[in-house]
């Protein structure tokens, strides 16, 4: 499965034909976690998040993107904290497809995101796949640089009884701004 995803990402990058083709980005924002009762009470359910992402336009209205998001895995902020004084660090690696609609001669770009994410938590030492959904708006300063405001939602199930039935439907919401450079 990982080989297929890597192959598709590389193939899509080579086929990029939009102004600038591939891009790299860096973002920072605020995240909020909903553990669906996994932790009795969260003392702090918000944290600062940091994002690194790279992608490529397949055509004017479609792009693919791979991203790494640190939901306080790097201790930029106090982070999520459970009532038992455990600090919860989380991270996600995602692969997404994005549908774009540009306005004003490609200056303003609205998009929707859909993809898969590999989520990990430092408290449980577990990881697993979930879904990522998102929407955003980007403003292009010129053909190389742009800035975006985005909202992503990571949804995933957690099974703490190991009976193959999810016990908790968890969610991470992430609002961030990003700076992109296109090549």
For the stretch 20-53, pLDDT in tens is: 579 999 999 998 877 555 555 555 567 788 999 9
For the stretch 61-118, pLDDT in tens is: 889 999 999 887 556 556 655 555 566 677 889 999 999 998 888 889 999 999 999 8
- For 114, the domain range is 2-182
Q: How would you write the chain as a 3-class SS string?
A: CHHHHHHHHHHHHHCCCCCCCEEEEEEEEEEEEECCCCCCCEEECEEEEEEEEEEEEEECCEEEEEEEEEECCCCCCCCEEECCCCEECEEEEEEEEEEEEEECCCCEEEEEEEEEEEEEECCCCEEEEEEEEEEEEEEECCCCEEEEEEEEEEEEEECCCCCCCCCEEEEEEEEEEEEEEEC
Higher pLDDT, 90 or 135: 135
Residue 37 CB coordination number (10 Å): 11
Per-residue confidence (pLDDT) for residue 17, from 0 to 100: 42
Q: The domain that contains 18 carries what CATH number? A: 2.40.160.20
Per-residue confidence (pLDDT) for residue 112, from 0 to 100: 97
Judged against a pLDDT cut of 90, whether residue 183 lies above it is answered with no
Residue 54 banded pLDDT, cuts 50, 70, 90 = very high
Contact, 80 vs 91, CB < 8 A? no
The structural domain count of the chain equals 1
């Amino acid at each position: 499965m990982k080989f297929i995803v890597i192959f598709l990402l590389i193939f899509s990058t080579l086929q990029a034909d939009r102004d600038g083709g591939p891009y790299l980005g860096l973002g920072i924002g605020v995240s909020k976690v909903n553990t669906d009762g996994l932790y009795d009470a969260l003392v702090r359910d918000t944290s600062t998040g940091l994002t690194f992402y790279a992608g490529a336009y397949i055509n004017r209205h479609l792009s693919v993107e791979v991203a790494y998001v640190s939901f306080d895995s790097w201790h930029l902020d106090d982070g999520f904290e459970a009532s038992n004084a455990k600090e919860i660090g989380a991270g996600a690696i995602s692969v997404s497809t994005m549908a774009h609609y540009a306005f004003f001669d490609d200056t303003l770009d609205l998009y929707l995101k859909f993809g898969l994410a590999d989520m990990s938590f430092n408290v449980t030492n577990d990881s697993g796949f979930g879904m990522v959904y998102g929407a955003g708006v980007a403003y292009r300063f010129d053909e190389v640089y742009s800035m975006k405001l985005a909202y992503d939602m990571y949804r995933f199930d957690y099974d703490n009884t190991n009976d193959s039935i999810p016990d908790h439907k968890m969610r991470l919401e992430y609002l961030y701004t990003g700076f992109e450079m296109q090549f």
